[in-house]
Amino acid sequence: MFRFFENLVDPYVAYEEQDRPPQRLWPFIWDYSKPFRKLFAVTGTLTILVALIEVWLIAYMGRLVDLLASADRTTFWDDYGFEMVAIGVALLVLRPLVQLVDVGLLNNGIMPNFGTLIRWRAHSHVLRQSVGWFENDFAGRIANRIMQTPPAAGEAVFQVFDAMAYSFAYIVGALILLSGSDPRLMLPMLLWLGLYLWLVRWTIKRVGPASQAASNARSQVTGRVVDAYSNIHSVKMFAHNEAERAYAKEAIEHARETFQTEMRIYTKMDVGLVFLNGFLIVAVVGWAVWLWATGAATVGVVAAASALVLRLNAMTGWIMWALSSFFRNLGVVAEGMQTIAQPIELVDAPDAKPLRLEKGLIEIDGLSHHYGRGSGGLDRVTLTIRPGEKVGLVGRSGAGKSTLVRLLLRFYDAEAGAIRIDGQDIAHVAQDSLRLQIGMVQQDSSLLHRSVRDNILYGRPDATEDEVIAAAKRAEAHDFILDLQDPEGRTGYDAQVGERGVKLSGGQRQRIALARVVLKDAPILILDEATSALDSEVEAAIQETLYGMMEGKTVIAIAHRLSTIAHLDRIVVIDDGHIVEEGSHSALLAAGGLYSRFWGRQSGGFIDTTEAAE
């Protein structure tokens, strides 16, 4: 039975991804609700039916009181026996059946799947964002919004059916019941309803913004805490425990203050609700008793009216909390939309086709990128790298080397100029197809918090175990991998490496990252300080691997240790965003320019990055 309801909607159903999701709250929720709309309609109808059955039950209790007061005890079962049995069957069979289907649709069909669908699509959307987008936010805050928005949206939907639709149908049914007994009984209830709706409006107007502020404050706390945890080595190294505590306390205190503001609204709401409910009981029951005393109403009317207002008295607090929860959760969703509804700015062109790489010719034409600042980065750079050519990039920190590599990978779109690979503008090819053709080993090689095998397989997921081991051996990683063991007892290639690979040394991380690129075997290779984390003995062995990897590939190598790139076909010197020199190692030394000064001022084989150009 449960599986029937749970399988009514597939949260992973295929859908058309949007680069620009709806930016307003209700269109956003409505868009995500598309697979559930028919289910919503059926559930809403059944919820209203459940509420009307409850009102009818109270009305029938009033009729039963009148029957007992007026009927002859000796003939009661003869006169009303069939009716009593029919009512009993309805209460024991039909009412539970309607309730079963209603709660099955809501609790099992909608609730688990709606939040799952939002989380899945939100995560998929965020994964499509550019590297620059992630660099502008806390990873912890992004993750927090991905996690808290789906349950908030699910809870909002739950309140629509469980409380709002039910209470609306119940109040309408109560008014009809009272008007059927005596129209005058509607007057105090209508007055109460007007005051109640005013209180609801007052609460909702304030709780939505307060809830969004509190949710945003919680996300800020998460962002700061995760930032400290993910950089715990720096925190410990610089003995900044107290500074991090103070930094977190500032956000935690702000979260407390915003939550206090939110809860003050609820306290005022509760106090107002007590007064309104007292008025409802006194007005409706008192008037019903007065009508009975004047002979205008039966005892059954008084009993039904009393039962109805007592039920409403119990429901009003629940309804108010449900409405408040509804708008509070909408506030959480609105806050989450600041992340999960942001447009994808770096997208494939409408006519984008897969990159067809035949030779590996790279042409950089008038390339400029300043990260929107008007300075820094690259300025009108033109460079051609021939197929199979090995080119070294040299320059001080901030000269523009990394910017050039990021633009080549299309982590950003260039502000001006173009990059072409085998004649194809990379701005007009599919991003994934571009990056599949490029292997890169970075100076800071972060690993996934997964097994060693999974990390190496990231280079080529369909590789065999033998190919994984062969790649690890070429990267001088196989021997130390066999000695690994994590806290759960997993060993070798099954051992988990920890978040960002923190359980490994820098050299071990670098070698696993190198094995990943070896396995990928892409025709274009980028080396960004690829051996910087290795000791001299391992570096010498790895250099042999790198030389082998370079065979037949177009290579771009960034290095501060000039001895590692001196043998390359050509060296390009970048300074302040411009190419200032290029040529072979020997030619540049003979020229006596910036490269020659770098070579002459090396300490331990590294560029003096602080020396100003003359």
Strands 554-558 and 390-394 turn out to be parallel
Measure Cα distances from 72 to 75, 86, 302, 378, 569 in Å: 6, 20, 21, 100, 113
Q: For residues 565 and 557, is the Cβ–Cβ distance under 8 A? A: yes
Q: For residues 511 and 546, is the Cβ–Cβ distance under 8 A? A: no
DSSP letter assigned to residue 377: S
Number of domains in the chain: 1
Provide the 3-class DSSP secondary structure of residue 348.
Answer: coil
In a domain, 387, yes or no: no
Using one digit for the tens of pLDDT, what is the confidence trace for 264-293?
988 888 888 888 888 878 888 887 888 788
Q: Evaluate if residue 548 carries a pLDDT over 70.
A: yes
Using one digit for the tens of pLDDT, what is the confidence trace for 303-355?
877 887 777 777 776 777 777 778 778 878 888 888 888 898 888 888 889 99
Strands 554-558 and 524-528 turn out to be parallel
Average pLDDT of the residues of the chain: 85
Burial class (CB in 10 A: 0-12, 13-18, 19+), 159: buried
Pick from 37, 32, 27: nearest CA to 15: 32
Share of the chain above pLDDT 90, in %: 28
Q: At what angle do helices 166-181 and 299-340 cross, to 10 degrees?
A: 160
**Please, which pLDDT band fits residue 538 given cuts at 50, 70 and 90?**
low
Please give the pLDDT value at position 410: 92
Q: Which residue has the tokens 């194809």?
A: 424
CA distance 583 to 580: 11
Sign of CA dihedral 227, 233, 236, 240: negative
Please give the pLDDT value at position 573: 93
Pick from 230, 208, 488: nearest CA to 329: 208
**Please, which pLDDT band fits residue 614 given cuts at 50, 70 and 90?**
very low
Q: Which helix (H) or strand (E) holds 594?
A: helix 594-600
In a domain, 591, yes or no: no
Q: For residues 457 and 466, is the Cβ–Cβ distance under 8 A? A: no
Q: Which helix (H) or strand (E) holds 439?
A: strand 438-441
Please give the pLDDT value at position 541: 65
Q: Evaluate if residue 613 carries a pLDDT over 70.
A: no
Q: Evaluate if residue 532 carries a pLDDT over 70.
A: no
CA distance 32 to 556: 44
Phi-psi region of 576 (alpha: psi -120 to 50; beta: other; left: phi over 0): left
Half-sphere exposure of 604 (CA within 13 A, CB side): 3
In this prediction the pTM is: 0.76
Greatest pairwise CA separation for the chain in angstroms: 125
Q: For residues 512 and 497, is the Cβ–Cβ distance under 8 A? A: yes
Concatenate the DSSP letters of all residues of 498-562 into one string.
-GGGTTS-HHHHHHHHHHHHHHH--SEEEEESTTTTS-HHHHHHHHHHHHHHHTTSEEEEE-SBG
In a domain, 77, yes or no: yes
In a domain, 332, yes or no: yes
Using one digit for the tens of pLDDT, what is the confidence trace for 567-594?
899 999 999 889 999 999 999 999 988 9
**Please, which pLDDT band fits residue 612 given cuts at 50, 70 and 90?**
very low
CA distance 554 to 334: 47
Concatenate the DSSP letters of all residues of 165-225 into one string.
IHHHHHHHHHHHHHHHH-GGGHHHHHHHHHHHHHHHHHHHHHHHHHHHHHHHHHHHHHHHH
Count of residues making up the chain = 614
In a domain, 217, yes or no: yes
Q: Evaluate if residue 221 carries a pLDDT over 80.
A: yes
Q: Which helix (H) or strand (E) holds 432?
A: helix 431-436
Phi-psi region of 422 (alpha: psi -120 to 50; beta: other; left: phi over 0): left
Share of the chain above pLDDT 70, in %: 94
CA distance 376 to 395: 13
Please give the pLDDT value at position 533: 53
Q: For residues 149 and 333, is the Cβ–Cβ distance under 8 A? A: yes
**Please, which pLDDT band fits residue 465 given cuts at 50, 70 and 90?**
very high
In a domain, 193, yes or no: yes
Highest mean pLDDT among 65-69, 446-450, 469-473: 469-473
Residues 55-62: what's their mean pLDDT?
80
- CATH number for the domain including 191? 1.20.1560.10
Joined tokens for residue 171: 């109040």
Strands (E), 276-423: 362-369, 378-385, 390-394, 416-421
Q: 527 φ, ψ to 5°? A: -120, 115
In a domain, 161, yes or no: yes
Q: Buried b vs exposed e over 137-148: b needs ≥16 C-beta within 10 Å? A: ebebbbbbbbeb
CA distance 594 to 573: 8
Beta bridge partners of 418: 365
Q: What's at 265, amino acid-wise?
A: I
Using one digit for the tens of pLDDT, what is the confidence trace for 10-38?
999 998 888 888 888 888 888 988 999 99
CA distance 219 to 249: 14
Pick from 410, 429, 368, 337: nearest CA to 130: 410
Q: Evaluate if residue 141 carries a pLDDT over 70.
A: yes
Q: Which helix (H) or strand (E) holds 308?
A: helix 299-340
In a domain, 41, yes or no: yes
Measure Cα distances from 178 to 175, 306, 516 in Å: 5, 11, 75
Pick from 113, 200, 111: nearest CA to 158: 111
- Domain containing 210: what range? 12-340
Phi-psi region of 295 (alpha: psi -120 to 50; beta: other; left: phi over 0): left
Query: Which residues fall within 8 angstroms of residue 536, CB to CB, at 6 or more apart?
Result: none
**Please, which pLDDT band fits residue 481 given cuts at 50, 70 and 90?**
very high
Please give the pLDDT value at position 607: 57
Sign of CA dihedral 32, 35, 40, 43: negative
